[in-house]
Homo-oligomer: A and B are copies of this chain.
Amino acid sequence: MKYSNQTRMLVAVDCIIFGFDGEDYKILLIQRGFAPEKEKWSLMGGFVQMDETLDKAAQRILKQLTGLHDVYLDQMSVFSQPTRDPIERVIAVPYVSLIDIEKYNKQINNDFHAKWFSIREIPKLIFDHGDMVALALQHLRYKAALHPILFELLPEKFTLPQLQTMYEGLYDTKLDKRNFTRKLLSSNLLEKTEEKDKSSSKKGAFYYSLNEDFYEKNITNILTIISKSDTSLFSD
């Protein structure tokens, strides 16, 4: 097999940025700047250059098109249907992130009119970007079920109802309050503070904070510690 006989193709990356604003999950979209499908709503995408890795390309393109930088991006499975782009063969590598909208909003520039849409009201997207978004949401739900990633979106102090809102929004479901609270409190992830939030009810809700030690150990050990693996596999 010779290299010279082989087919070369364009490689694109597409960035799927989800955000949480304290109440709702949103997705960041831009209007595509070039043909085909110019000015249609699109993920932030572009072609990988000769001298950059895919990860670097994703960071570069996200920054160029929105101003966002230093965002943690997860690579998903490659989209490689031969006819997915009408111009020529392009394989696309989607990257997904979930960010705190308030924290990152000041980075966003308006050159490309990047706009947040509720994930319940996503406009029609170009090519197979709609499928990418659906898979990215699945990816996030799966990840959030196994790692406490949602906690990174919370302010330093938060109430249990706030946390419940986050889980309900991502899974588009209602959770039983008592059950949710019981599991959370037995998880060792939270530390109760002495303060109360009295904005939503007279009785108020205690503020909690994340047990950083426990959280760190969980995150870093989950992949390597067999005793932890045992627990995940055989938990009921």
A111 at the interface (CB under 8 A from B): no
Interface size on A, residues (CB 8 A): 64
A91 at the interface (CB under 8 A from B): yes
Given A50-B7, A82-B50, A223-B142, do A235 and B233 touch, yes or no (CB 8 Å)?
Answer: no
Given A78-B78, A146-B146, do A7 and B48 touch, yes or no (CB 8 Å)?
Answer: yes
Q: Are A171 and B81 within 8 A (Cβ)?
A: no
A159 to chain B minimum Cβ distance, whole angstroms, is 17
CA distance A50 to B48 in the complex (A): 18
Residues in B with CB closer than 8 Å to A87 are 3
* Contact of A11 (CB < 8 Å), options: B9, B50, B189: B9
A107 at the interface (CB under 8 A from B): no
Closest to A179 in B: B230
Closest to A47 in B: B6
A57 to chain B minimum Cβ distance, whole angstroms, is 8
Q: Are B6 and A54 within 8 A (Cβ)?
A: no
Interface residues of A in 54-106 (CB under 8 A from B): 54-55, 75, 77-78, 80-82, 87-89, 91, 93
Q: Are A145 and B234 within 8 A (Cβ)?
A: no
* Contact of A229 (CB < 8 Å), options: B3, B48, B145, B229: B145
CA distance A142 to B225 in the complex (A): 10
23 contacts between A and B (CB under 8 A): A1-B33, A1-B34, A2-B34, A11-B11, A48-B80, A51-B82, A75-B77, A75-B78, A78-B93, A138-B223, A141-B229, A144-B229, A145-B222, A145-B228, A145-B233, A147-B233, A173-B226, A175-B226, A183-B231, A183-B234, A189-B234, A232-B232, A235-B235
